[in-house]
Structure formats: structure tokens, C-alpha cells
Amino acid sequence: MNAFRKTAHRIAPLILSVGLIFTAPAAGFAKDLLTVNLVNEPATLDPHQQWNPDSYYVYRNIFDNMLTRDNAGEIVPQIATGWSQDSDTEITFDLREDIVFHDGEKLTAEDVVYSIERITDPDFASPQLGQFNKIIKAEALGDFKVKLTTDGPYPALLAQLIKLSIVPEHVASSVTSEEFNAAPVGSGPYKFVKWDRGVEVTVEKNDGYWGDKGPFETVSFKGVPDASTRMANLQAGTADLVVTLNADLAQQLESSGRGVVKNVNTERVAYFAMNSTKAPLDDMELRKAIGYAIDREGIVEGLLGGYPKVVDQMLSPAHFGWKDGMTGFTYDPEKAKEIIAGLGDDAKVEMALATSPVFDQRVVQAIQQMLTEVGLNASIEIVDMATWLKDQQTSNDQAPLLTFSRWSCACQDPDGIMYPLLHSSSAWSRFSDPKIDALLDAARGELDLEKRAALYAEINGLAVEKAAILPLYQAAIIYGASDKLEWQPTSNESMFLNRMGWSE
């Protein structure tokens, strides 16, 4: 057992036993109301803006998407009922003819065209632009048929369209994005009711929904940053579903008998980003030293209860293109110290490590400690999630030097994670390498699946060789739920309310 594992309890903050605090019987549940505790309130309810988990959990139930995944992870129709690949660059979709927006207007091909043009408009500046900018044309071929044209073969298109929410042109085109965010109109199983900033977002069942109806009349989403408080709410009966528990709280919940643990290994990859465009991290040797300094096994086993899985590539086993047997940086603090000593004063610069309460701060603190122990000077800077997102999507010279984060594209395709984090054109990327850029461009246009997987394996190998980014682990998400709530979480972290129910 290494030194980090021996001191895991020293690193982890003490968590009081919630079971000792709450001795009163849990309150009865209300079948008409589901209360969900998120980590933060949504950053936005406009589906063409941020897609961070707290936003996605809410707005995905307000809007329908072109396609979706079933609980087994297979791509299935939603707004689109079927599609035909007309050529390497053209695909035609047939649309449902019975979808009505929450204001009573019918959803047509024009709304699909508008939604695609909106999210791909550079002036709109969607953070999701890199996921859809291969689409160069969308045209309506009638009221319920749409043809999309890409600027080359794009095998990830269907996987990306899982994330494309369709907004009503007659509403979104007549208001600003901020106004649409404040009063979103979709066609999904739940309608937006109100957003009390800092308190809750309330949605209600759409009785006219074309598909499976929601089982709850009303759903309340509340931002509760502290995980212990989220669990306390669950056990007190004031919440029915809470997100992002840690392993300690999960163990307490299981032993308490008041609520159940629901967990799944997701497509989300936890990673450590280094701004290689700025000194001192423009020195590849320093980035490699950081790679050797981080004890990923210690983090997973010592802090996270063994739920996640260490990965050496910017993919998870839930992604297409996952390759068994790839190796990354081993934990070797002595080697890290040797490299850092050879770099002299250049390695002593204070580096800000950007984080937000949505991330497990025990992990962030552990990484800071590991970097300190090999002679680096990293200071934690914690901000709210909205500010963190803004700071990440900026110019390289303004971006933080160090970032701990977790990434999911909700598409289970490598293009959705590797392109935004490694391609120099992306607002999220802090790395620039012409060869990796060229390989990423080639991979997103390769229709042969075997060749495409080989390209991503080559990119991941180069990313390790150049210490472009440090993959840490495949994240496991741990939910706490009322024992009366029937729901199975999925690896793409979609919280579909109309796939839930109350047990009798």
C-alpha cells in the first residue's frame, strides 16, 4: 500500500453520520410530486447553450431531441422516426407528424432546420458548436422531412443528434437567448412552469405528450451544493432523488435503510487539463512530471470507494473506440521530483487549479497535495459552476493553468469528447498539435469503423506521449433515491422523468 492510500483518511474530510442526525421517521412521499436535489441550479435551460449535468437533467425533459438512446444504450428514434443515408455526406430524416410544442403549435421540419442553424451559427456562440459544425446545410423537404448535409463523411452524426434538442422557431427566433432561457418552450414530456433563481426549477407533466407520459404531476429541481445535505434531505423525505453522492455517503445510505443507492459507471471521463499554451506548462517535461505525480489508483480506491475505473485514454469503456490494453502514466513521484528538480525555478511558478463545488473536492485537494509533494506550487481556486464554465470557454491566455474536470458528451462517441478537449480550434482545448488536429479531423470523417477506432487509438497514444491531457478515471455516478422510486440510471446520465415511476 503506497503512502497516499495510507493517508486517504487524512485527505478526506470528516463526514458526520447523517443517520445519527436524523432520528425522526422519514416523511411520507407524495405521488404527484417528485423532488430532485441537484448539485447546483441549472446554468441555463436553453438546450443550445451549456450541457453541464445540472442543466441537462432539467432541460432534457422539457425538449425532445432528434434521436435518443434507450436504456440499453441503443440509438432509437424520437422526433425522427427513420433515416436514410443518401450519400457519404447526405442523410434524410422522416419526422413524427403528431408532436406539438407546449404552446400548442405543431413541430415541423422548419423547426428542425432552425434549431440546427441556430446551434451551428458562430455568432450564437454555442458551447456545443464543435459537436455540430460538421453540418453545413439543413433543408426541409416538406413539413415532416429534413435533409442534412455535412462537409464530409461524419460517422458520429447520429450519436451527436441524440443531443440536438428541437426548439420552436416561432418562439426562439422572436426573443433573445436570455429570454428563451428564462421561459423555455419545448415539446417534451414536461412543461416549464417557473424558475425561482437560487431556489428551484419547477416543471409539470405535459398531458398532451405524444410519447410515454410522465408519472409525476410536478417535479421540483433544487440546487443543493453540499452532498451531506442532499442525503439528509433524502432521508428526511424532503427529496426523492439526489445526485452525486460519494462512496462514504453511499455506504451510510445503504446501511441506514432509509433510501437506496443507484449507481452506474458512466461515459464521463475525469481528467486533468494543463494549459500547454502558457509557461511553465508549455514545457512537455513539466506536464509529464505532473502525470507521474498523480496517483490515480490511490484516488479511486482511497477516496472514491473503488466505484470508478482508472483509464489511460480520453475514453471510457462505454464509448465506441475504447481500446483495451492502452497504458498511460504510472504513479512515480520520485521520477516527478527528478524532472521538476531539473527544471529549476521554471517549475516553481504558482499555478491556479480551477474547480467548482460540482466536483468532488476531496479529489481536487488530493491532487493539489500530490503536486505539492513533488515540489510544485498549485493553489485551488473554487468558483460557482456558471463562472467555472465561463472561465473554461475563453482564450488560452485567459484560461486557468490547471483544471480538474469530468467530461461527457452524452453521445458515447469519441468525437464528442476528444475533439473538444484536444483539437486546437475548440474553445475547451488547451493544447495545440498539428498532427493530433489532423488525426482528429480524419477520425471524424472516417466511415470505416475499424479504421476509425484505430485513428482514435493513435490519437490517445500521442496524447500520452506529448502529455496533452491526463485522463484519470471513468466516473461512476452515485444517486440516492427513495425506495419507492423505480428508475435505472444509464451510462449517458440522462435523467428521463418519463422512464421513472412510483412502486406500489
502 vs 23 pLDDT, higher one: 502
Q: Is residue 145 part of a domain?
A: yes
What is the phi/psi pair of residue 480, to 5°? -115, 140
Q: Is residue 9 part of a domain?
A: no
**276 and 303 assigned to the same domain:** yes
Q: What is the CATH classification number for the domain harbouring 45? A: 3.40.190.10
**218 and 317 assigned to the same domain:** no
Read off the pLDDT band of 13 (50, 70, 90).
very low
Q: Which domain holds residue 405?
A: 266-476
Q: What is the CATH classification number for the domain harbouring 81? A: 3.90.76.10
**241 and 270 assigned to the same domain:** no
**487 and 411 assigned to the same domain:** no
Give the integer Cα–Cα distance in Å for 355 and 319. Answer: 25
Read off the pLDDT band of 18 (50, 70, 90).
very low
Candidates 53, 43, 68, 73; CA nearest to 189 is: 68
Tens digits of per-residue pLDDT, 276-293?
Answer: 999 999 999 999 999 999
Q: Is residue 175 part of a domain?
A: no
Q: Which long-range contacts (CB under 8 A, 24 or more apart) does 295-299 make?
A: 295/2, 295/4, 295/331, 295/333, 295/370, 296/331, 296/472, 296/473, 297/331, 298/2, 298/4, 298/5, 298/8, 298/331, 298/366, 299/363, 299/366, 299/367, 299/472, 299/473
**80 and 43 assigned to the same domain:** no
**105 and 51 assigned to the same domain:** no
Query: What is the pLDDT, as a whole number, of residue 426?
Result: 93
Q: Kindly state the average pLDDT of the residues 311-319.
A: 94
**306 and 162 assigned to the same domain:** no
Residue 28 clears pLDDT 60, i.e. is over it: no
Q: Is residue 26 part of a domain?
A: yes
pTM of this prediction?
A: 0.76
Tens digits of per-residue pLDDT, 431-450?
Answer: 999 999 999 999 999 989 99
**345 and 411 assigned to the same domain:** yes
Lowest average pLDDT, out of 28-42, 212-226, 281-295, 346-360, goes to: 28-42
3-state secondary structure of 135: strand
Tens digits of per-residue pLDDT, 236-295?
Answer: 999 999 999 988 999 999 999 899 999 999 989 999 999 999 999 999 999 999 999 999
Task: Show the cell assigned to 490.
Answer: 444509464
Task: Show the cell assigned to 399.
Answer: 484560461
Mean pLDDT of the chain: 91
**277 and 375 assigned to the same domain:** yes
Choose the final residue of a domain: 112, 135, 169. Answer: 169
Q: Is residue 12 part of a domain?
A: no
5 vs 354 pLDDT, higher one: 354
Residue 209 clears pLDDT 70, i.e. is over it: yes
- Please give the tally of structural domains in the chain: 3
**305 and 433 assigned to the same domain:** yes
Q: Is residue 375 part of a domain?
A: yes
131 vs 210 pLDDT, higher one: 210
Q: Is residue 1 part of a domain?
A: no
Choose the final residue of a domain: 169, 197, 225. Answer: 169
**295 and 393 assigned to the same domain:** yes
Query: Is 79:107 a contact under the CB 8 Å cutoff?
Result: yes
**259 and 270 assigned to the same domain:** no
Q: Is residue 6 part of a domain?
A: no
Q: What is the CATH classification number for the domain harbouring 448? A: 3.10.105.10
